[in-house]
Structure 1
């Protein structure tokens, strides 16, 4: 078992010097924002140029991944427990699978496929397997005390014998329990036709895939019995943050008997940062305290967990939660992984971990301490009797580009549910809408739903006796068309500067604009009050109009139709759709919304608004039919501006403004600036 500063550092070491082509994660709890802002960059090999602002960083990664050719973009799958609500909304293109099983989907596993240069010109392909106690959350990867292990890289053509059987079984099981049909990592593994090697790795991977009485204890006994030497008077040490909800004493007695232990020491979880309160219920403490087979224990001084979990002094040390799970027979065998000391973990949940030979030495020593209070308020995963997994599963896709939802039968579907009637209740109006299977559905309210959550609640009905509600996790596609939060949208002048710096191309292929974006976002959030505000400082209106003209002309050229090259024409058409139809940091639709909604000190200058609106209308009209809605809105804003803020300006002068700064740059001689300065000044 290796000690790392954080699990992030461990993953960095695993992928160093190689390209990650595929990565699979399983987890109980999942935080999308943390995963996308902090783990996905590690899979790309570098965080250079990435913003420290999580929202901007996720936007950077979204643009970068969407701009990558499909064969270069890492394929990522994340499997999570469907009953754990704290997930967040995905912004990045990966496959998020929500799994419902008889118990908790609790195993924490990472499998990555790596390509590196072996000097022959052909990439060398290796896989690395990792497993431990850490959830895919900020606490799991950065804050908690966890146990984790990564194997050495191995070839799929020669998977170490002590990894192969359970790894192949687990990956096949994941496919079978996932409602989603999209499995790029599992497909890559299957395509490699994995074969076992006669050699072993010294680490025995174990995956516990479904309810089975005595399954964990049977594997533990098997591992103990396979050893050449066996100790007399066997002791068992357990480190676990969670326990059985009830009948804990009998459970401990059964474990001791099954493993033929004379002593069972169980770590007493206490919060030394909070008066030494016990992190369990009083009933759990008393049940084990009264058990004849077990005794409460503290961490042995000098042991591998003592200094981290219970330091001698807590001065200037941040509070840390010990989430590690270790079950060991000193001198014989150690198991680390996701398994808590509970019936659900031993017999029901999906769990995973590694068996290792143990080097001996005590990690725990008996304690007679009694906590002065008990703080546990979270049941051990899978121990809650109220959890039900009986609802039907469906596979659903929402395409941000077309705004279409499609619900289909799941990969592991019970055929009778294909006859069920499905309806969706709009959260605000409470109106219902039927959602037929395998039929595209477009509904404006769905957009608001998927902006805020990755799921949709569907009412299903087979008969009066069989009906209910099921939560469907929705795979979201074309995420570069997904509206971004308001706080990540720029003011109009910042967008103009952005187009100039990217020469009218999308920001996904550029590194330079991001610092400017962050500066403007900080300004808008009043984080950086000294940052420059509003338009760049120019001598007169002509200089500012030149600034506007250059930005719009570059953008227009990138979108301009009329090429004979089919591939290039399609690329330009897609770019036009993006700028005219999406609510992104750098889109025309976002700029128009800014001009429409900003007021007071934040309002864009009326003369510049007049010219910008004509530019937007002109570009939108060049791209029917996708540009027609935006052209109509721009035209309405032009008329509104004429009737309000420009009400006192003569029509002739406004007409001159709308043509003088819209044409090709060579269409206006230098004399225009001299002869028309008075007219422009009058317009202002």
Structure 2
């Protein structure tokens, strides 16, 4: 432990290596912080981001989509119902976990990374005390330990424990995906071969079936007595007269030093009765950090750092074992909660020293309830409900972790008078909602937090109104027109082969301009971007070239289905439907400030889009046929309108002329495409 932040340790462990999949578990979860400060650390090193949070989130979302990096986050659903304030602004897996009266309290990171050319991948695993929040990664005094396993150098028992943990997490996902982060790590672990000479790793994981004390016993009993125990924990049991320390005496512990947490006034963050109780015991003492530990931690300095680390330091005569993880010094943590951590061999150096002076006053700051010991008062029951909405198929799906079916309403920001979904019956198997989802789509426009209410069908017991995080998928098809707008010329320039770096600059500039238009300039400033040709369509060959390059890019071996769907049917700022929408604008009355395309340019653009949608390699992608029908309807409207002026001779046979022209155009287009690929 030192004054460094958890994010710095992550960067050190990665060492510039490419992340291929990432899984995190946490008790409390702040999606906004995670997206702005953690996700960027996982993206390729050539990514650079704005200091303005609104612009940065847009940049990170685009970079994450392009990288196609699978991320899964598992959080305690019960605490999120109470404390959750933000919701995801980009696509990754968010999975609420409810273990009944037990807290899902483990704080783990699993990062699948690629190594140098010719070397197999590695899995980085960390366990610690840090939640996925700003306080956990930046502000608090936290602890964390990292391990790394390769394909052929992992200890067999450790590999088996990791496999069980991934199986546990897989079972907590509402949607099973073969391309998700958990699935990718499962495949890596399945390929690993245990090394019989690898040193053992003492790992207390998600799927551990033994109690925490039983996990510790074998190694701690090996220490030469007398054994001293130092306990570092921000939480203690609710019962001020409890004697949890006695459980460690059975492991050979003779003396216990218990760190006294303090607030910014150096007053004790502890129940007064418990403070006095511990002070009255023999062989158990309140303690402070030793100076060699307090200095690196910045204890007593500004800004004050609150204690959140959880450490059990067993010191024998000639060696020590230190447990680093999520386990607090409470009954629930020691016996019931889902916790995790590592027991590592360390030097027998003390971290704490007994407080010899009078104990400080008790802080007036209200104490948080320990994880797993929350007293929830609610008017009704709150079963674990899992919901997901797919923007590609416009499908709402859900399930409840209960034998009794339920009937629920989903309430958006407009309140109970305008329910987004009403009277939806859910069972314990995933099922789809068959009603209209337009109201729900509106409710999800600016967030994933949805208020749920309803009843249990068998007992007619009320379901207490509470918020849940609805999982959104296929964000590439979620309408978000307020983010940024590109001109047709800019979109076609991207299709024509713009470098990823310049595309990022172009999108960032568009986002900043949009903030200016909305009167939300803040600290942003315009980016000096090299201008595109003012008359991009002055040579129509450039339009045709852009579409040829788009088709080639989407049909090559490196193109993924996600990328194809984004450009063919998505709602992104440079997706083809967005460009088609610009062409369709010529059929509508011009709005003030608009610069619509010339009708001929719009017509040729739609013909080029039609050719892409008719391509054999794309016809089986979702909703391509519907998009083709839409483009054909726009072409028909342009042909029937008088927007394109023909000579008097051709005007008399207008329909025949367009039929001839389109036949020639599409044949020529195909010829050029073949030549370009030769």
In which range does the TM-score fall when normalised by the shorter chain? 0.7 to 0.9
CA distance in 1, matches of 2:481, 2:507: 16
Answer yes or no: is the 8 Å Cα contact 1:582–1:589 preserved in 2: no
Q: Is the 8 A contact 1:250 1:291 kept in 2?
A: no
Equivalent residue, structure 2, for 1:132: 128
Q: Which moved more, 1:343-352 or 1:552-561?
A: 552-561
- Written as runs of structure 1 = structure 2, the 5 A alignment for 1:204-223 is 204-207=202-205, 209=207, 215-223=211-219
Q: Which residue of 2 aligns with 1:459?
A: 454
- Residue 345 of structure 1 pairs with residue 333 of structure 2: yes
Give the Å deviation of 1:31: 1.9
Taking structure 1 as reference, are residues 296 and 387 closer, same or farther at Cα in structure 2, changes over 3 Å only? Answer: farther
Matched, 1:397 2:391: no
- The whole-number CA distance in structure 2 between the counterparts of 1:209 and 1:564 is 47
Aligned partner of 1:676 in structure 2 is none
- Match for residue 364 of structure 2? 374
Q: CA deviation at 1:247?
A: 1.3
Quick check: 2:75–2:95 contact (8 Å CA) kept in 1?
A: yes
Corresponding position: 1:324 with 2:309: yes
Q: Among 73, 76, 94, which residue is 2:92 paired with? A: 94
Q: 1:61 Cα shift?
A: 3.4
Deviations 1:33-77 (A, max 9, x none): 222233223223315333333333332333334345xxxx33222
1:285 aligns with 2:278: no
Q: 1:560 to 1:91 in 2, by over 3 A?
A: farther
2: distance between equivalents of 1:140 and 1:552?
A: 55
Gaps of 5+ in 1: 538-542, 634-651, 657-684
Q: Is the 8 A contact 1:289 1:296 kept in 2?
A: yes
Q: Are residue 434 (structure 1) and residue 423 (structure 2) matched?
A: yes
State whether residues 89 and 451 of structure 1, in contact with CA within 8 Å, keep that contact through their aligned partners in structure 2: no
TM-score, normalising length: structure 1 = 0.73
* Deviation (angstroms), 1:497: 7.0
Aligned length: 598
Equivalent in the alignment of 1:230:
224
Q: Once superposed, what is the RMSD of the aligned Cα atoms?
A: 4.8
Distance 1:425-1:62 versus aligned 2 partners, 3 A rule: closer
* TM-score, scaled to structure 2: 0.73
CA contact (8 A) 2:492 2:546 kept: no
| Structure 1 residue 352, shift from structure 2 partner | 0.7
1:168 paired with 2:163, answer: yes
Change in 2 beyond 3 A, CA 1:427/1:231: same
* Range with greater deviation from structure 2 (246-255 or 345-354): 246-255
Whole-Å separation in 2 of the counterparts to 1:572 and 1:359: 55
Q: Secondary structure at the match of 1:37?
A: helix
Unmatched segments (≥5 aa) in structure 2: 611-624, 635-641, 646-678
Distance change (3 Å), C-alpha of 1:116 and 1:451: same
- Structure 1 residue aligned with 2:374, among 358, 376, 384? 384
Equivalences for residues 186-265 of structure 1 within 5 A: 186-191=182-187, 192-193=189-190, 194=192, 196-201=194-199, 203-207=201-205, 209=207, 215-225=211-221, 227=222, 229-232=223-226, 234-244=227-237, 246-265=238-257
Residue 448 (structure 1) aligned with residue 442 (structure 2):
yes
Q: For residue 270 of structure 1, give the secondary structure of its aligned residue in structure 2.
A: coil
State whether residues 47 and 63 of structure 2, in contact with CA within 8 Å, keep that contact through their aligned partners in structure 1: no
Q: Say yes or no: does 1:468 pair with 2:459.
A: no
Distance 1:62 1:507 in 2: 18
Matching residue of 1:672 = none
2:616 paired residue number? none
C-alpha deviations, 1:241-275, integer Å up to 9, x for none? 1222x21432344335434433221111112xx32
Q: In the aligned structure 2, how far is the partner of 1:165 from the partner of 1:625? A: 48
Shift of 1:294: 2.5
What secondary structure does 1:251 align onto? coil
Relative to structure 1, the CA distance from residue 529 to residue 583 in structure 2 (aligned partners, 3 Å threshold; closer, same or farther) is closer
Q: Secondary structure at the match of 2:291?
A: coil
Aligned twin of 1:360:
348
* Corresponding residue for residue 267 of structure 1: 259
- Is the CA contact (8 Å cut-off) linking 2:409 and 2:422 kept in structure 1? yes
Aligned counterparts of 2:200 and 2:584: Cα–Cα separation in 1: 61
**Contact 2:22–2:70 (8 Å) recurs in 1:** yes
Q: Residue in 2 aligned with 1:540?
A: none
1:27 corresponds to which residue? 26
